[in-house]
Amino acid sequence: MRKILTAMSGGVDSAVTAGLLRQMGYEPGGATMLLRPGGEQEAADAAAAARRLNLEFHCFQWQPEFERMVIAPFAQVYQQGGTPNPCIFCNKALKFGKFLDAALELGYDGMATGHYARIEQDPETGRFLLKTAKDAAKDQTYMLAGLNQHQLGHTVLPLGDYTKAEVRQQAEAMGLLEQQVKKDSQDICFVPDGDYMGFLCRWGLEPQPGNFIAPDGTVLGPHRGYEGYTIGQRRGLEIAAGRRVYVLSKPRPDVVIGDGDALFTTDVTVTGTNWIPWEQPPERFRASVKLRYTAKPAACTVTVTDGGAQLVFDEPQRAVTPGQAAVFYEEDLVLGSGTIV
């Protein structure tokens, strides 16, 4: 690959990515995706960084696609009782899906992003491998574990071999002063205030009424909407229980609450698996698995099923949440991922 289109957000990581591509001998271009109202400033920041780096620049107006490919499935999982990670939807469908297609149509050989992860090719099998970043605190492989071989094979991730501090040093050397001081985004881009229920209601979701119930089925009182609660939640339950209680499960439209000890389990089922080093994985293998982005990997035995897997952890895991991704690791190698059901 020679010509690479960089997905630029206006921040330091994607801007440095484009600069590093040139140092690596590629011919970089830049592009941003305008996905929602209010994203115009980010697009302007990305365009400014591209001008500073003397890059050809494109702006893709994909608001309808974003609603269809990211927000709609985000809302659907909430309505089904899960707690989704929309960044994973976006990466698979838009950032490494539609964006990659656009890059190839424009004559580029592939794409790059500012994610902290590494891609290598196995010399024996020829398969593209996803590996964790040098900077463990910034590693983003959890968000990329759903990518397929076509996507991995047409992607360059220069920041996988850098720490965040080194990236900021590169930004200073490249004269990217505005990007260097810009804070990293922490929230879901279309819900910057963290009020998911407020967003979903404005988008058209109608909360399903029901009751808080005890594990034995005793009705404890009404809740404000089934979709507004997630497994393990303690704050904001708006019910006087006389002690700390947590959301244990969600048998629609009710929400089971009780003591935190009941949140632990060793058995987890996932579906929609994507395997990276193998076309067909072993029927059973050992792995370390992350059950949410901020979790530490935990040792388990994985038994592959038709379109999914059954996980049995060595130690009980707390608040396993349907809708989240389970990502499988063997040391620094990402084996694959699936969705917790």
Same domain membership, residue 108 and residue 245: no
Rounded Cα distance, 80 and 253, in Å: 10
Same domain membership, residue 108 and residue 253: no
Same domain membership, residue 108 and residue 52: yes
Beta strand residue intervals within the chain, DSSP E? 3-7, 27-34, 57-61, 110-112, 118-121, 128-131, 155-156, 210-213, 219-223, 246-249, 255-258, 264-275, 284-290, 298-305, 308-318, 325-330, 333-340
Mean pLDDT over the full length of the chain: 93
Same domain membership, residue 78 and residue 111: yes
| Assigned domain for 76 exists | yes
Q: Work out the average pLDDT over 94-116.
A: 97
Q: What is the pLDDT of residue 181?
A: 53
| 125 token code pair | 């099998």
Does the pTM surpass 0.85? The reply is yes
For residue 328, list its beta bridge partners.
289, 336
| CATH code, domain carrying 327 | 2.40.30.10
Residues in the chain, total: 341
pLDDT band at 177 (very low <50, low <70, confident <90, very high): low
Tell me whether residue 189 is one of the annotated catalytic residues: yes
| Assigned domain for 109 exists | yes
| CATH code, domain carrying 75 | 3.40.50.620
| Assigned domain for 326 exists | yes
* Residue tagged active-site, from 59, 189, 201, 300: 189
| 143 token code pair | 């968000």
Same domain membership, residue 227 and residue 101: no
Order the strands of the 27-34 sheet from edge to edge. 57-61, 27-34, 3-7, 110-112, 155-156
Same domain membership, residue 19 and residue 103: yes
Same domain membership, residue 231 and residue 143: no
Rounded Cα distance, 194 and 198, in Å: 9
Domain coverage including residue 235:
207-258
pLDDT band at 176 (very low <50, low <70, confident <90, very high): confident
Closest CA to 11 of 104, 113, 93: 113
Rounded Cα distance, 312 and 325, in Å: 16
Q: Does an H or E element contain 151, and which?
A: helix 149-153
| Assigned domain for 193 exists | no
Q: Is the peptide bond before 84 cis (omega within 30 degrees of 0)?
A: no
Q: What is the pLDDT of residue 203?
A: 86
Same domain membership, residue 163 and residue 86: yes
Same domain membership, residue 94 and residue 214: no
Lowest mean pLDDT among 31-40, 105-114, 187-196, 223-232: 187-196
| 93 token code pair | 């469908």
Q: Work out the average pLDDT over 194-215.
A: 90
* Residue tagged active-site, from 59, 87, 90, 201: 90
Same domain membership, residue 102 and residue 8: yes
Contact 121, 29 (CB under 8 A): no
Tell me the CA distances in angstroms from 52 to 78, 89, 176, 184, one per residue in order: 42, 31, 7, 20
For residue 255, list its beta bridge partners.
212
Same domain membership, residue 46 and residue 7: yes
Please state, for a pLDDT cut of 70, what percent of the chain lies above it.
97
| 310 token code pair | 């059954």
Grouping H, G, I as helix, E, B as strand and the rest as coil, residue 186 is coil
Domain count, the chain: 3
Tell me whether residue 90 is one of the annotated catalytic residues: yes
Same domain membership, residue 144 and residue 214: no
Q: Model confidence over 145-155: pLDDT tens digits?
A: 999 999 999 99
